[in-house]
Structures are given as C-alpha cells and as structure tokens.
Amino acid sequence: MGIIVWNVCNASFCSRSLQLLLSGKIEVTGVRTMSTCIKLFIILVFSSSAYSESFELKDFIRLSIEKDQKYQELHLEKEKNKYIKDQSMPADAISLTLDHEKAYVLDSDDTNQSSTIRLSKDFSKSGTSISVSKSRSNQPNIEFEEFDVSVEQSLLKNSFGRDTRLLEAKLEEEAELANKEQDEAYEDYLLESIAAFFDYQITYSKYLLAKDTLADTKKLNRQVSQKYKKQIATSTDYQKSQLELLTAEEDFLAMEKDLNLMKAKVTERTGLKEVAHMPGEMKKLFSKLLEWESKSLDKNLIREKLIADGKLSIAKKELEILKRDNWAELNLVAGYSEEESVRYSNSVNQKENYVGLSFSMPFSDKQSAANIGIARLDEEKLKVSRDLAERSIDRQILEFKQQLKFYSKNIELLDKKLALAKSIYKAENNRYSYGKIDLDTLIERKKDLATYQYQYQEYLLSYLSLSASWLELNDNLIEFTQSL
C-alpha cells in the first residue's frame, strides 16, 4: 500500500500520481482522501489551462480596433467616400415650377392674372433637356393660353454629355483615390498596433533577461562572498562581485521601468492591464514573416505609386474640365407649341413645330483664366511628385531588402553564438568554482552572454518591425493580419 503526498504546485506530479492511482499501482485509503486528490488534480488542470491561454497578435489587433476610437474615425472617413460622386454630379432631378401673378389696376376695378406651370428634366450624361409648360393669362377683354413642349440638345459645350461623363470619370477616380488613401491610413494604424505588440513582447523579454541576470549575479556574489570568507578570493574579487551586483540591479530597475511604461501603453490601446509574455508567438511570427518576405513584388501595383498616378490623372481631367467650361454654348432647340387667345370675342388658335439654334460665348473671364493657370501648374507639380514617389519606392525596396537580409542572417548567427556562449559560461562557471580561472574571466564570459542575449532581442525587434513595414510598403499588411 502506498501513500501519496500531493504537491499542489506541481501539476505534472499530480497528473502522474493520478495515473498511477487509477491504474491500481498506488492505493489510497479512504474515500475522502481519494475525492480530495481528484479535486486537487482538476483544480490544477484548469488553473494551468487558464494561465497558459494564449494572447496572440491577432487578439491584440482585435482589441485595439474595438477600443481605439482612431480606428472608428478611419472607418467613418472611408464611409464618406461613397458619396463623393453623387455630391458633385449634376442632380438631373425632375423640376416642377409654379408661377402665379395677380395685378390690380389703380384707376379701375380690373385685374390682370397670369399662371404658369412648368415641368423639366435634364439628362446631363447626354446633354439633353426636356421641358413641358402651360401658361394662362387673363386681362380685361383678353385671354391667352399656351402649351409648349421643347427639347434642347447641346452641340458644343458638353456636346452630347461629353463634359458630364468626363466629370463623372474624375469623381470616380477621386472616390477610388480616397479609398486607397484610407487603406494606407488603415495600414499605418495596423503597423502602429503591430509595432506596439512587438515592442511590448521584446521589452518583456529584456526584462526577464535582466531578472535572470540579476539572479545569476546574486548567485555569483554569494559564491565569491563564501570564497572571500574562506580567504580563497581576494577583497578585490569581492568588490568586483559587489559592483557587478549593483550594475545588475541597476539594469533590472531600468528594464522594470521600461516594462511598466510599455504596460501603460498596452492598457491605453487594448484596455488590458497586462498582456502575457508570448515568446512562442514571436518565434511563430518570425517564421511567418520570413515566408511573406519572399512574396513576389510588382512595384507598379504598389498603392503609394497608384495614389501618385491617380492624383496626376485627376489633375489632368480637372484641367480639361476647366478648359471646356470656357467653351461657347451651341444648342439645338426643337419643340411644339399651341396658342389660343381671345381678344374682344375674337378667337385665334395657332399650332406650330419649331427648330432652331441658340448660341452664347463668354468673353474676358479673368477668373476662369486664373483657375486654368493654377490647374496647369498643379498638373506639372504632380508629375514631379509622381517621379519622386517612384524613386522613393525604388530606394525603399532596395533598403528594405538589404536590411531584412542583414537582420535575418544575423539572427541565425546569434542563435548559434548564444548556444556557444551559454555552454562556455556554464563551463567557465564550473571551472571558477574549482579555482581554475579568475573572477575577471568569468565576469567577461557572463557579459558576453548578456550582450548576445540583448543583441538577439534587438535584432529580432528590428527584423519584425522592418518586415511589418515591408508588408505595408507592398500593400500586404492587411492580408497578412487576416491570415493570422
């Protein structure tokens, strides 16, 4: 018969013991003891599961979006883009006009009355206007009625709706451009969230490194103190170990301060008081970003270039529209009218079809000339901006590729250097305990290890941040976050 002593701090021991107990290899006396064991095991299993619940980058982004009003502002701004076209296009609404006048003759009781009702509709995309009207007027001894239907077609300015269609194309490009700019702003926002997550995780890793270094330095200090008491170590060695301890405490306090500041930023962004340290998530993101880094890139489809091209295209259309606004108007007018009048009991009825031309031309419009001049300069300026954007993209692509290659290769090298440095420090620490090396050598090996550990975290942060910025440049950041 065996007796189990349960250690509630050791879940693996509890699990193994319960397996032995259930298999019959260990017996427990008493139902109460058995029940207690099972309850303890269940508590340990569920508390361990809750503690290890992952909080990944996708969760961080989701909470940032839910809490941060900046995202809501971006979303609402993009919603406005759907109204850009309708806001500036001709309304083409059906227009109903009613007029009624009544005049009194001062030296008599007679009155003059007139009424007009008119229904009209413009078809700006074809440059056509249609109107139907009916008029009636009553004067002493005179009555007059008129019915008229007319169609007017533009032949020069907005010829058959050409200018309106150009305006429509310009407005559609403006809406598309605004959407692209909002996507850029959203990617900037995503990049901020991702950078905040990376900064927090790396700061947490550096804090834990400082904590481990402090614990290791305390252990070394105790070891040197014992040797000093036994007069094996010199007073100088003892002072050196004390100095190392003070330095380690100073570094730990600095890392603790940085972590607390980072926690405050995380709380502001997500509403969480603390986010778990996820070294496994960082390794997974490193591998995933390596895959995405190698995706093919067509610089002509980069949103930054498309935005520059779009602005130039819009400017060209705007200049053409301003020029056409100064064109003469030549319209074809056709219609049918009926007139009926009664004058002193004599009636006259008249019906006619008519066709004609109307012409008007502006002269000496300085304001329009100034607007055209400014639009022409804007077009030239945007050509320069587009060329600069293309050069900037080429430069960024080259720089990103070189830096990503540098950091990814150095992370691989640091992995190997860290493994060697840990092995060397462990061996040197063992040798020091036997007095085979001096304290200076051991401290040097310890500093080498700490340097490699911190350098690894710095390089990892640089690579992850650069990779995210690279994905933003080639417009893959949104798709990347959706794949998490």
For the chain, the structural domain boundaries read: 11-51, 57-85+166-318+369-482, 93-154+328-361
Give 469-484 pLDDT, tens digit per residue.
Answer: 999 999 999 999 999 8
- Is the pLDDT at 256 greater than 50? The verdict is yes
Tens of pLDDT, residue by residue over 154-181, are: 999 999 999 999 999 999 999 999 999 9
Average model confidence (pLDDT) across the chain: 86
| Tokens representing residue 127 in the block | 């440059």
pLDDT at 91: 86
* Gap between the Cα atoms of 428 and 437, Å rounded: 7
Q: Which residue has the higher pLDDT, 31 or 433?
A: 433
Residue type, 283: K
In this prediction, residue 54 carries a pLDDT of 52
pLDDT digits (tens, 9 = 90+) for 19-78: 433 344 444 444 344 344 434 333 333 333 333 345 789 999 999 888 888 888 999 999
Rounded Cα–Cα distance for residues 349 and 191 (Å)? 78
**Dihedral sign for Cα atoms in the order 47, 48, 51, 56:** negative
57-85+166-318+369-482 CATH fold: Outer membrane efflux proteins (OEP) (1.20.1600)
Q: Return phi, psi of residue 227, to 5°.
A: -65, -35
Cα separation of 126 and 129, whole Å? 9
How many percent of the chain have pLDDT more than 90? 68
Q: What does the pLDDT read at residue 150?
A: 96
Residue type at position 255? M
Q: What is the largest CA-CA distance in the chain?
A: 143
Judge whether residue 219 has pLDDT over 70.
yes
Query: Across the strands, what pairs with 345?
Result: none
Helix (H) or strand (E) holding 137: strand 128-139
pLDDT at 474: 92
Question: Residue 209 above 90 pLDDT?
Answer: yes
Give CA–CA dist 189/183, Å, rounded.
Answer: 10
Closest listed residue to residue 165, CA positions, set 129, 197, 127, 137: 127
Mean pLDDT confidence for 241-261: 96
Structure tokens at 417: 């250097």
Q: pLDDT class for 379, splitting at 50, 70, 90?
A: very high
- Band of residue 347 on the pLDDT scale cut at 50, 70, 90: confident
Q: What is the pLDDT of residue 22?
A: 35
What does the alpha-carbon distance between residue 116 and residue 196 come to, in Å, rounded to a whole number?
69
Per-position DSSP letters for 443-475, written without gaps between them:
HHHHHHHHHHHHHHHHHHHHHHHHHHHHHHHTT
